[in-house]
Amino acid sequence: MSHYAVEIDLDHRNTSHVQVLDLAESAPAAGSGKNVLDVGCWTGEVGRILTERGCTVTGIELDREAASLAEKVLEKVIVADLDATPLTEIVEPGSFDVVIFADVLEHLTDPRAALEQARDLLTPGGRVVISIPNVTHGSVRLALLQGRWQTTDTGLLDHTHIKFYSREGLLALFAEAGYAVEELRGTTADPLNVEVAVDPGPLPEVAVEWVRQQPDALVYQFQLSARPLADGELPPAAPELVQAAPADEVRVRDVHTTRFEEATRSRLATRDHILGIQASANSAQARVGTLSKQLREAREVNRRRRERIERLRGKVAGLEADLTYATRHPVRNFCRRVIRRLRRAAQG
């Protein structure tokens, strides 16, 4: 039993328990006097804090030993198996302002059915609050790159997990179960700073840092608050995810970061070099286009000049022929001139 034991540090907001407590307390029903059902309450730590803050907390727990400890701090604890008995047969419908599933849904064979049953347990304006591991956390991605899927006693790959969810899958689960997700949060952790077995050494030098930069790769667990959809209401757009701790607070700066930055600088330098070559090539191509146009124009000028030269050569040849003829027949030419003069005189 002890491997699930946890002490909640309220000053450490980057934990699922603190986020769940915050979401439960921010549900619409007034903070003091809320009736809360903690499904899978374990030893009752979450419920104990809510009780201290004025809530009345009922717990449901599968493990009898854990339930016996929870009984000491909660209003009531029921030992039950959600895979065998519907929630509506365990507790009274319509009697809770908040139903909490803190790290529970992933252990159930039919989490959708549990969520659908939880709708009937809520008072008007009630909320379901959950936390659940993110199977797309960077540590799992890196482990899969190495062909690893090594389960552990606790954590993302807890050997008792039956279901695994990404952000998209989690939001789809709630939409299918008839909920509108109102708040979505995420606790964060570096991929190389959690329990999942990863050996980054053999990975390509930039793989670790590339994975760190992918969407949700730093999100270790999701937390959300949801309300039942009204009759005929369609699920609204999902809210933006709010991280409990920003990336720069949890990301480890290591040799993988350095290698990635060096590789990035190298790629940028190569890109700039290629862009420079492309710019030179474009300039040269433009110059070639200009020269080609000038060449076409020069060829056209030369063609016209050749045509003119040919015409002039024809005229010169004609003149040369006339000159040759005149040189060879001077008497005939003289007689012709005399005749033309006589005719003009006669006409005058």
pLDDT in tens, 51-106: 999 999 999 999 999 999 999 999 999 999 999 999 999 999 999 999 999 999 99
pLDDT over 60 (residue 30):
no
When pLDDT is averaged across residues 152-169 and rounded to a whole number, the result is 96
Q: Classify residue 208: in a domain, yes or no.
A: yes
The stretches of 194-254 forming alpha helices (DSSP H) are 207-212, 247-250
Q: Which of 23-37, 49-63, 212-226, 323-337 has the lowest average pLDDT? A: 323-337
CA angle 177–182–184, rounded 5-degree value: 95
Q: Classify residue 42: in a domain, yes or no.
A: yes
> How far is Cα 237 from Cα 181, in angstroms, rounded to an integer?
8
Place of tokens 């059902």: 37
Cβ(188)–Cβ(248) below 8 Å: no
Q: Classify residue 285: in a domain, yes or no.
A: no
Element spanning 220, H or E = strand 219-228
Q: Classify residue 338: in a domain, yes or no.
A: no
> How far is Cα 186 from Cα 223, in angstroms, rounded to an integer?
6
Model pTM greater than 0.85? no
Q: Domain limits at 13?
A: 2-252
pLDDT over 70 (residue 330):
no
Select from 150, 74, 63 the least CA-distant residue to 107. 63
Q: Classify residue 16: in a domain, yes or no.
A: yes
Select from 45, 154, 155, 41 the least CA-distant residue to 102. 41
Cβ(71)–Cβ(77) below 8 Å: yes
Total domains, the chain:
1
Other Cβ atoms less than 10 A from the Cβ of 260: the count is 18
Query: What is the DSSP pairing of strand 179-188 with strand 35-39?
Result: unpaired
pLDDT at 190: 96
- Burial-class residue 318 by CB neighbours within 10 Å (0-12, 13-18, 19+): exposed
Q: Classify residue 170: in a domain, yes or no.
A: yes
Burial 208-231 (b: 16+ CB within 10 A, else e): bbbbbeeebbbbbbbbbbbbbbee
Q: What share of the chain is helix, strand, coil (3-state, %, to 5)?
A: 50, 15, 35
CATH number of the domain bearing residue 21: 3.40.50.150
> How far is Cα 248 from Cα 190, in angstroms, rounded to an integer?
10
Tokens describing residue 283: 């300039």
Q: Classify residue 326: in a domain, yes or no.
A: no
pLDDT at 312: 80
Question: C-alpha distances in angstroms, 348 versus 105, 233, 334, 335, 339?
Answer: 133, 120, 21, 20, 14
Q: Classify residue 192: in a domain, yes or no.
A: yes
Return the DSSP state at 80: -
Tokens describing residue 35: 């009736």
* DSSP secondary structure, 335-347, as one string: HHHHHHHHHHHHH
Edge-to-edge strand list for the sheet holding 35-39: 76-79, 56-61, 35-39, 96-102, 122-133, 219-228, 179-188, 241-243
When pLDDT is averaged across residues 20-47 and rounded to a whole number, the result is 89
Q: Which of 115-124, 125-134, 237-246, 290-299 has the lowest average pLDDT? A: 290-299
When pLDDT is averaged across residues 196-208 and rounded to a whole number, the result is 88
pLDDT category at 195 given cuts 50, 70, 90 is: very high
